């Protein structure tokens, strides 16, 4: 497979995952904020967290005067200044799909293309501000379209190189995102005197779309249990452990030869990450220590993605917003 095509598939999967998560986060926050007053700490804290997870608070404040709903929606959904605005990441998915359309099922390209040409163009031309319920409906459509695509990939693609490069992109993006969300919530907690055990983890559960699954297994929603779940659970598909193990499986599938230098390098990197996650004992850690170890794991993850790109001669992403 051409390196350029592998790169485009990898980034298509990453943008797809990023878009799904950001759309979900926005949906959560647009609902939550209805019960909060604009002056409350929670309201500001939550929006700041969302801004930092989906883009950058500094960049937002450099372009807009205050944390208010309509400018926030404009920035997070449509702004050309925000390289992770939903419109931009959706366009990146489609552009990468366009480059690689001969490596993927026709229907996958057609669904993405149809969405881009109809619903996405449609909302761009709407008069602003767009009513909240319409924004919610659009975000839901974004997620539905991407679910459908995930289903198509799982259900119809040959287990071959294009599939595996999509998988690596997806699992890496997901692992990194879960860690970033956790870190941002921890950074906010660091400013208070509350411990992990005392703090409530519901907002993080909502952001990571883990609430349903978590509550089936745990009664307490303290932040410590929530973080433990999001980082170490082996069955929850957004946990860091789950994603990293999936990456390991995928590397094994890409490299049939388990003695090749490519396999040995990638496998040893990922194994040490699995081991490091497994050994984390959050019960013994302060908030600051938790931040430190999670930052270290995030760096490991990023280092792995760099090694992966070097080993498979992936280009600098050409279609990045």
Which ranges of 116-239 would DSSP assign to H, the alpha helix? Answer: 121-124, 132-156, 161-190, 202-207, 211-217, 223-232
From the list 3, 63, 195, 220, which residue makes contact with other proteins (rule: CB under 8 A)?
A: 3
Answer yes or no: are the C-beta atoms of 95 and 109 closer than 8 Å: no
User: Is residue 220 a contact point for other proteins (CB under 8 A)?
Assistant: no
Q: Residue 106 or residue 292: which is nearer to other proteins going by CB?
A: 106
Give the closest residue to 78 by CA, choosing from 100, 66, 63, 65. 63
Q: Which parts of 104-133 interact with other proteins (CB under 8 A)? A: 106, 109-110, 113-114, 117
Provide, rounded to whole angstroms, the least separation between the CB of residue 301 and other proteins.
21
Give yes or no for residue 101 binding other proteins (CB under 8 A). yes
- For residue 195, report the phi and psi dihedrals to the nearest 5 degrees: -85, 170
CB-wise, 205 or 254, nearer to other proteins?
254
Shortest Å, Cβ 303 to other proteins: 19
Q: What are phi and psi of 159, to 5 degrees?
A: -80, 85
Binding mask 154-193 for other proteins (x = CB under 8 A): -------x--------------------------------
Q: Which is nearer to other proteins, 3 or 286 (CB)?
A: 3
Give least dist CB 304 to other proteins, A: 16
CB 321 within 8 A of CB 84: yes
SS3 200: strand
- 222: alpha, beta or left, given left = phi > 0 and alpha = psi -120 to 50? beta
Crossing angle (nearest 10°) for helices 161-190 and 240-254 = 160
Binding of other proteins at residue 313 (CB under 8 A)?
Answer: yes
Task: Name, in order, each residue with C-beta under 8 angstroms of 282's C-beta and a sequence gap of 6 or more.
Answer: 196, 224, 227, 228, 231, 290
Minimum separation from the CB atom of position 173 to other proteins (A): 19
The window from 150-158, 274-282, 283-291, 313-321 that contacts other proteins (CB under 8 A) reads 313-321
Could you give the CA distance from residue 66 to residue 72 in angstroms, rounded to a whole number? 9
Tokens representing 169?
A: 């992109």
Among 115, 155, 125, CA closest to 19: 115
Beta carbons within 8 Å of 114's beta carbon, 6+ residues apart: none
Query: Are the beta carbons of 90 and 97 closer than 8 angstroms?
Result: no
Residue closer to other proteins (CB basis): 106 or 286 = 106
Q: CB of residue 247 vs other proteins: minimum separation in angstroms?
A: 16
Residues of this chain, 40-99, that bind other proteins according to CB under 8 A: 95, 98-99
Of 38-46, 180-188, 189-197, 307-315, which segment contacts other proteins by CB under 8 A?
307-315
Shortest Cβ distance from residue 318 to other proteins (Å)?
9
Please state, in angstroms and rounded to a whole number, the distance separating the CA atoms of residues 280 and 215.
22
Q: Which stretch binds other proteins (CB under 8 A): 56-64, 81-89, 206-214, 310-318?
A: 310-318
- Contact string (CB under 8 A) for other proteins, positions 256-295, x = contact: ----------------------------------------
Binding site for other proteins (CB under 8 A): 1-4, 6, 95, 98-99, 101-102, 106, 109-110, 113-114, 117, 161, 312-315
């Amino acid at each position: 497979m051409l390196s350029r095509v592998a790169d485009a598939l990898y980034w298509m999967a990453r943008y797809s995952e990023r878009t799904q998560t950001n759309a979900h986060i926005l949906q959560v926050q647009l609902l939550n904020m209805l019960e909060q007053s604009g002056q409350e700490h929670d309201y500001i804290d939550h929006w700041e967290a969302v801004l930092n997870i989906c883009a950058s608070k500094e960049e937002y404040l450099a372009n807009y005067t205050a944390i208010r709903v309509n400018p926030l929606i404009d920035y997070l959904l449509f702004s050309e200044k925000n390289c992770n605005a939903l419109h931009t990441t959706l366009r990146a998915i489609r552009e990468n799909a366009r480059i690689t359309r001969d490596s993927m099922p026709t229907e996958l390209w057609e669904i993405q293309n149809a969405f881009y040409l109809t619903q996405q163009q449609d909302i761009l031309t709407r008069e602003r501000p767009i009513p909240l319920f319409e924004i919610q409906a659009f975000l839901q459509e974004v997620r539905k379209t991407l679910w459908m695509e995930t289903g198509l990939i799982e259900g119809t693609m040959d287990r071959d190189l294009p599939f595996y490069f999509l998988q690596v992109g997806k699992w890496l993006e997901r692992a990194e995102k879960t860690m970033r969300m956790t870190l941002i919530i921890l950074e906010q907690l660091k400013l208070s005197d509350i411990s992990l055990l005392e703090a409530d983890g519901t907002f993080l559960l909502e952001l990571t779309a883990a609430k349903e699954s978590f509550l089936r297994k745990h009664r307490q929603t303290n932040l410590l249990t929530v973080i433990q779940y999001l980082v170490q659970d082996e069955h929850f598909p957004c946990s860091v452990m789950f994603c990293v193990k999936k990456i390991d499986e995928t590397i094994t599938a890409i490299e049939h030869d388990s003695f090749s230098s490519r396999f040995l390098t990638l496998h040893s990197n990922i194994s040490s990450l699995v081991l490091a996650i497994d050994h984390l004992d959050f019960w013994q850690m302060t908030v600051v220590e938790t931040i430190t170890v999670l930052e270290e794991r995030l760096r490991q993850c990023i280092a792995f993605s760099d090694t992966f790109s070097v080993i498979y001669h992936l280009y600098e992403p050409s279609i990045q917003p």
